[in-house]
């Protein structure tokens, strides 16, 4: 950790020059309010010593410690126009030990431990497995009333799960572009304990074998609001889809279509979903700002 973790202090702005890349490193934003991170490529924040967790899942799993960016116990954090990737070291290329893939990466951008008022905008997440965990535990406690996060105009390209996975927080997800494919795909938005997700005008392009019913996952949550989202399934024309209805048609128990709140803290108009792919792909990611 001493060699790979960069601790970011409060009232700090990090702006990468063109081509700026952090390889094998973690930005830790812990107890640090008022932080901005822009225009950086985060590449391969690998854990050289993953831990075997025998009780994780039916047969155990390998788990890594380091996120590319971790936000904990902090407020007013803006993560904008960055790229998150595993580069030439994807988890899919790792060997298998104890019957499970030797996973050397954790999240791209995790928001946990009572952090709140976090915005991730115009970022590009490419070819990763676990992406964004909002809330680190199912235990009811200090996270209640916290973990309020906005995700807008991000590209999720070839990523497999936690896009995001949410516990407790009010999370506003709008105008994001999802390009999802591959045998390892698990779900897009995870509905966790006491979560209140509002997903509006996002666009999902789905590879073979993935349908609109696969986009949500019930992690012991009860409700999610989905409005104006479009889905382009392989072999079908793009269309507006009620994501909750699509999920409920194939899964039990049903999710409620009302998360109980409406977002008010947004900048600028919300794009119609059909305009999202072209607009967001042109603007999201590092090296798109005029620096």
Counting Cβ atoms within 10 Å, is residue 140 exposed (0-12), middle (13-18) or buried (19+)? exposed
Q: Which of 38, 162, 179, 227 is catalytic?
A: 162
How do beta strands 133-134 and 224-227 pair?
unpaired
**CA–CA separation, 73 and 29 (whole Å):** 8
CB atoms within 10 A of CB 127: 16
**CA–CA separation, 207 and 235 (whole Å):** 9
Angle at 188 between CA 243 and CA 56, to 5 degrees: 130
Rg (C-alpha) for the chain, rounded Å, is 18
**CA–CA separation, 65 and 26 (whole Å):** 10
**CA–CA separation, 276 and 285 (whole Å):** 15
Residue 162 designated active-site: yes
The distance between the two most distant Cα atoms of the chain, rounded to a whole number of Å, is 51
Tokens 């590209």 -> residue? 155
DSSP 218-276: EEB--BEEEES-EEE-TTS--EE--HHHHHHTTSSSPPBS--S-------SPPPPGGGH
Angle at 232 between CA 153 and CA 247, to 5 degrees: 90
Alpha helices, DSSP H only, in the chain? 243-248, 276-283
CB atoms within 10 A of CB 221: 24
**Looking at the annotation, which residues are catalytic?**
162
């Amino acid at each position: 950790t001493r060699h790979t973790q960069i601790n970011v202090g409060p009232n700090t702005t990090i702006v990468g020059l063109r081509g700026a890349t952090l390889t094998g490193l973690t930005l830790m934003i812990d107890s640090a309010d008022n932080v901005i991170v822009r225009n950086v490529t985060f590449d391969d924040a690998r854990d050289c010593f993953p831990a075997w967790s025998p009780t994780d899942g039916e047969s155990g799993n390998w788990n890594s410690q380091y996120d590319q960016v971790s936000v904990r116990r902090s407020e007013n954090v803006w993560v904008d126009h960055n790229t998150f990737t595993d580069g030439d070291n994807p988890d899919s290329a790792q060997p298998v030990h104890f019957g499970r893939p030797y996973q050397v990466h954790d999240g791209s951008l995790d928001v946990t431990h009572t952090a709140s008022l976090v915005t991730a905008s115009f970022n590009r997440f490419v070819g990763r497995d676990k992406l964004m965990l909002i809330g680190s535990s199912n235990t009811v406690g200090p996270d209640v009333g916290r973990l309020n996060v906005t995700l807008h105009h991000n590209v999720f390209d070839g990523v497999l799960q936690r896009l995001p996975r949410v516990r407790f927080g009010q999370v506003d997800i709008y105008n994001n572009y999802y390009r999802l494919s591959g045998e390892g795909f698990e779900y897009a938005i995870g509905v966790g304990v006491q979560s209140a997700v509002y997903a509006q005008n996002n666009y999902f392009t789905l590879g073979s074998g993935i349908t609109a019913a696969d986009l949500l996952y019930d992690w012991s949550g009860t409700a999610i609001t989905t409005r104006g989202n479009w889905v382009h399934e392989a072999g079908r024309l793009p269309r507006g889809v009620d994501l909750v209805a699509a999920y409920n048609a194939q899964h039990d128990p049903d999710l409620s279509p009302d998360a109980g709140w409406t977002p008010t803290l947004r900048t600028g108009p919300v794009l119609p979903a059909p305009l999202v792919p072209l607009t967001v792909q042109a603007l999201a990611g590092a090296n798109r700002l005029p620096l």
